[in-house]
A and B are shown apart, each in its own frame.
Chain A
Amino acid sequence: EIVMTQSPATLSVSPGERATLSCRASQSISSNLAWYQQKPGQAPRLLIYGASTRATGIPARFSGSGSGIEFTLTISSLQSEDFAVYYCQQYNNWPRWTFGQGTKVEIK
């Protein structure tokens, strides 16, 4: 099983600041990585796939980068609606997807 490790567990950021979230795979997954956003009581929402391609309707302030085992999600200027939990997911070993444990982005 490919283990996905996200860091930090919690990120405290002020509105308007940049947030950088990390995701590491236990083995190379090429660019087969997606990022999701989940707000309390809601279903996740696809943000990024292919490590760096924004999903339909996702604002340009969200960007993804990386390949192999190290990946990053960057939110360039945090808006109030961006405070949420973010999950990475590998699909290199499809259909057996695995998710990271999540990073909570909270208001500083």
Chain B
Amino acid sequence: EVQLVESGGGLIQPGGSLRLSCAASGFTVSSTYMSWVRQAPGKGLEWVSIIYTDGTTYYADSVKGRFTISRDNSKNTLYFQMNSLRAEDTAVYYCAMGYQPLHVNFWGQGTLVTVSS
């Protein structure tokens, strides 16, 4: 059974950093397309970043240069390093898996990141 469990969210001041983790089971992270999708309170879904099976990464313009997606194959875990956080980064961050880089087949339950002073 595919499972994705996010952790690492919390309250952080503007300009601060956080690292999100997504522990995967039931499949191999390096063999699938792993993404982060966020949802601001009461809002819709926004794609943020993806890492391909070959390690290629892509980012939304809103986070490029501040956030970094990575994975640890030995731990079968996806990470999201978020630096220079802004109030507009406040959202639930979902870890998401796709068998192709096209749509999401499975979602984690999400972790809330709140950027506020």
Contacts and interface: CB of A to CB of B under 8 A. Distances in A.
B10 interface: no
Interface residues of A, number: 22
A44 B107 contact: yes
B46 A46 contact: no
Interface in B51-69: 52, 58, 60
A20 interface: no
Most buried by A among B46, B101, B103, B108: B103
Contacts of A32: 102
B44 A46 contact: no
List 9 tightest A-B contacts by C-beta distance, closest first: A43-B107, A34-B103, A99-B45, A97-B47, A91-B102, A95-B58, A101-B44, A95-B50, A49-B103
Interface of B: 44-47, 50, 52, 58, 60, 94, 101-110
Given A46-B104, A99-B44, 9 more contacts: A32-B102, A43-B109, A46-B103, A49-B102, A87-B45, A94-B102, A96-B60, A99-B46, A102-B44
Interface of A: 32, 34, 36, 42-46, 49, 55, 87, 89, 91, 94-102
18 contacts: A34-B103, A34-B104, A36-B45, A43-B110, A44-B45, A44-B107, A46-B103, A46-B104, A55-B105, A91-B102, A91-B103, A95-B52, A95-B58, A95-B101, A97-B103, A98-B47, A99-B45, A100-B44
